[in-house]
């Protein structure tokens, strides 16, 4: 009886009202809005794990090299007349990076065995080999960077135009200060595990292996090309070495192989070039991944303490912030922050 | 009948408002680093606005640096990341300079600001919670000008 009277009433309101529809759409919208970022975050988390795995491979390869030769691979070596003053390096050949020396410890013997180290990177057979793609050299979050870094032009003595040197997102740590990788700087300035011509082993890490960074992440700022190209960034990281320009005495680019602790992690895009070429950075939101000398891999937040002490301030007695302490191997300072 | 319809409509309107509030809360939640505070101001050199200068706030103790770049009128606003405004709350060393290297290593961009404002800075700013305004009146005869910071 009751039902019968109700039915005709309902039939008059068969359709949804506009407001009801809007509410439904709003609810669906909110649900999608909540779900989509979550899915993206999960995907980013997966990429970050892959990236940590890459850095662990690199860290272990460096440590295996140390076990074999009682020193970590040299940060970078140069061929040709050695120890010329900076800016006067005519005839000094291109530099091989630490990354070329650890290839046998990353199951890349097929490349390593054919590389001709006394020759330049731009000479054959090196020219073809340094374009080889190394699977664990690239962070999966850096998907929009070029695969190769081209150097100069064909008329340059050290030009590496086609396809160039294979790209990477991993750089060695050259201590706490700018220019800490340059071979001609005082020893206490070169306080990282790596520098040009470095010979450090575990015995030189007086801060302890678990308090010192071996390698970390760096990103591409340019277009994978080094000169005469708009947007080119000279110091973008590359795997086999930093071949040089043959122009104006501005020879090598150590920052393409090393980064230091004096710049904070992930400086914003409008920071100065002098800053960006020295800074560790990543495409992961909030920080970057680092491999420590004890084989552990840590994701360090970009808010980690860093008072950007300069070398002159340091020898003048100023202390280092947490991040700079991690990048230096022999500062003797306690790391209080939890990594 | 009519009363019934009115009641229904008010309920739906109310639910729309509630949903809008919920959406707003969801969007706003999780935004912003509580250690950062908004910092802005104007940089002048000898009374004239200083364009294209890098402004840096480096925390004295805890936290990491924020960056700013001055506009044509000398104004700047500090950013911690590309999409997060602010500088760390507390004492900050401030460094202001125009010097840089060109991205393709073809030379350098000259420094016009004396070193007492950048490589050997004496500027200090106390950043507090909320909105901060720091105007810097620099003098070009305050010290010597150093080359690009490689220190």
Give the ipTM of the model, two decimals please. Answer: 0.84
> CA-CA distance, B105 to A235, in Å (whole number)?
9
Average of per-residue pLDDT across A102-123: 90
Q: What is the CATH number of domain B36-138?
A: 2.60.40.10
Interhelix angle A18-69/B2-28, rounded to 10 degrees, is 20
**Cβ contact A149:A164 at 8 Å:** yes
Q: How many CB pairs under 8 A join A and B?
A: 113
Mean pLDDT of A36-62: 95
Closest residue of chain B to A318, computed from CA coordinates? B60
- Whether A220 shows a pLDDT value over 90: the answer reads yes
C-alpha neighbours within 13 Å on the C-beta side of residue A186? 7
Q: How far apart are the CA of A138 and the nearest CA of chain B, in angstroms? A: 22
**The pair of three-digit structure tokens given for residue A80, joined into one six-digit string:** 């040709």
Euclidean distance between CA atoms A214 and A55, whole angstroms: 10
Shortest CB distance from B58 goes to which of A229, A304, A308? Answer: A308
The confidence score (pLDDT) of residue A134 equals 92
Contact A120, A251 (CB under 8 A): no
CA-nearest residue to B120 within chain A is A313
- Helices then strands, each counted (H, E), chain B: 1, 14
3-state secondary structure of B38: strand
In 3D space, the residue among B127, B141, B143, B140 whose CA is nearest the CA of residue B41 turns out to be: B127
With an 8 Å Cβ cutoff, is A268 touching chain B?
A: yes
CB-nearest partner of B104 from A19, A177, A234: A234
Residues 16-55 of B with CB under 8 A from A: 16, 19-20, 22-23, 26-27, 33, 35, 54
Residue range B22-51, pLDDT digits in tens:
555 555 444 578 999 999 999 999 999 999
**pLDDT score recorded for residue A216:** 96
pLDDT (tens digit per residue) in B71-114 = 999 999 999 999 899 999 999 999 999 999 888 877 889 999 99
* A3 three-class SS: helix
Model confidence band, residue A234 (pLDDT cutoffs 50, 70, 90): confident
If one compares A231 and B95, the residue with the highest pLDDT of the two is B95
pLDDT confidence of residue A247: 47
What dihedral angle (degrees, nearest 10) is formed by the CA atoms of A86, A92, A97, A103?
-170
SS3 of B15, please? helix
Q: How far apart are CA A42 and CA A39, in angstroms?
A: 5
Chain A positions in Cβ-Cβ contact with residue B103 (cut-off 8 Å): 221-222, 231-234, 273
pLDDT score of B2? 46
**CA angle, A245 then A108 then A261, to 5°:** 55
Q: Using CA atoms, how far apart are residues A96 and B51, in angstroms rounded to an integer?
A: 41
Q: Which residues have CB under 8 Å from B129's CB, separation 6+? A: B37, B89
Residue of B nearest to A285 (CA): B81
Residue B10: CB atoms within 10 Å:
9
Q: Where are the domains of chain B?
A: 1-31, 36-138
Q: Which among B113, B102, B94 has a CA at the least distance from the CA of B50?
A: B113
C-alpha distance from A316 to closest chain B C-alpha (Å) = 12
Q: A265: pLDDT confidence band, cut at 50, 70 and 90? A: very high
The answer to whether A308 contacts B15, with C-beta atoms less than 8 Å apart, is: no
| Contact residues on chain B for A221, CB-CB shorter than 8 A | 103
The distance in angstroms from the start CA to the end CA of chain B is 82
* Other beta carbons within 10 Å of B21: 10
């Amino acid at each position: 009886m009751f039902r019968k009277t109700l039915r005709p009433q309902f039939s008059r309101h068969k359709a949804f009202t506009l407001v009801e529809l809007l509410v439904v759409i709003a609810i669906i919208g909110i649900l999608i809005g909540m779900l989509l970022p979550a899915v993206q975050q999960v995907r980013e988390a997966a990429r970050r794990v892959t990236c940590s795995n890459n850095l662990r491979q690199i860290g272990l390869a460096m440590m295996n090299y140390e076990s074999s030769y009682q020193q970590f691979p040299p940060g970078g070596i140069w061929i040709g007349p050695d120890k010329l003053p900076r800016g006067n390096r005519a005839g000094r050949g291109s530099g091989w990076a630490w990354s070329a020396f650890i290839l046998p410890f990353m199951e890349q013997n097929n490349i390593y065995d054919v590389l001709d180290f006394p020759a330049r990177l731009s000479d054959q057979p090196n020219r073809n080999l340094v374009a080889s793609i190394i699977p664990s050299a690239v962070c999966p979050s850096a998907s929009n960077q070029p695969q190769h870094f081209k150097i100069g032009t064909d008329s340059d003595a050290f030009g590496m135009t086609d396809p160039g040197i294979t790209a990477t997102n991993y750089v060695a740590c050259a201590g706490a200060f700018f220019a800490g990788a340059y071979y001609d700087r005082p020893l206490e300035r070169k306080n990282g595990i790596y520098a040009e011509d470095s010979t450090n082993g575990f015995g030189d890490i007086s801060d302890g292996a678990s308090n010192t960074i071996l390698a970390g992440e760096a990103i591409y700022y340019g277009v994978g090309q080094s000169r005469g190209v708009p947007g080119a960034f000279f110091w973008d990281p590359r795997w086999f070495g930093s071949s040089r320009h043959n122009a104006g005495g501005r020879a090598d680019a150590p920052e393409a192989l090393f980064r230091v602790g004096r710049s904070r992690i992930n400086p914003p895009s409008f920071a100065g070039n002098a800053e960006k070429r020295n800074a560790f950075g990543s495409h992961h939101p909030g920080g970057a991944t680092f491999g420590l000398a004890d084989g552990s891999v840590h994701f360090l937040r970009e808010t980690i303490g860093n008072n950007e002490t300069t070398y002159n301030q340091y020898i003048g007695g100023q202390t280092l912030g947490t991040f700079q302490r991690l990048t230096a191997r022999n500062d003797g300072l306690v790391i209080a922050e939890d990594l | 009948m009519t009363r019934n319809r009115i009641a229904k409509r008010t309920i739906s309107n109310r639910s729309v408002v509630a949903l809008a509030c919920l959406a707003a809360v969801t969007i706003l939640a999780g935004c912003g680093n509580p250690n950062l505070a908004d910092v802005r101001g104007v940089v002048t050199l000898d009374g004239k606005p200083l364009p294209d200068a890098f402004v840096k706030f480096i925390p004295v103790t805890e936290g990491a640096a924020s960056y700013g770049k001055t506009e044509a009128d000398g104004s700047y606003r500090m950013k911690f990341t590309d999409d997060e405004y602010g500088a760390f709350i507390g004492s900050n060393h401030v460094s202001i300079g125009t010097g840089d290297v060109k991205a393709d290593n073809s030379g350098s961009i000259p420094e016009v600001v004396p070193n007492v404002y950048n490589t050997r800075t004496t500027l200090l700013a106390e950043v507090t919670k909320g909105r901060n305004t720091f105007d810097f009146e620099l003098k070009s005869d305050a010290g010597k000008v150093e080359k690009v910071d490689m220190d």
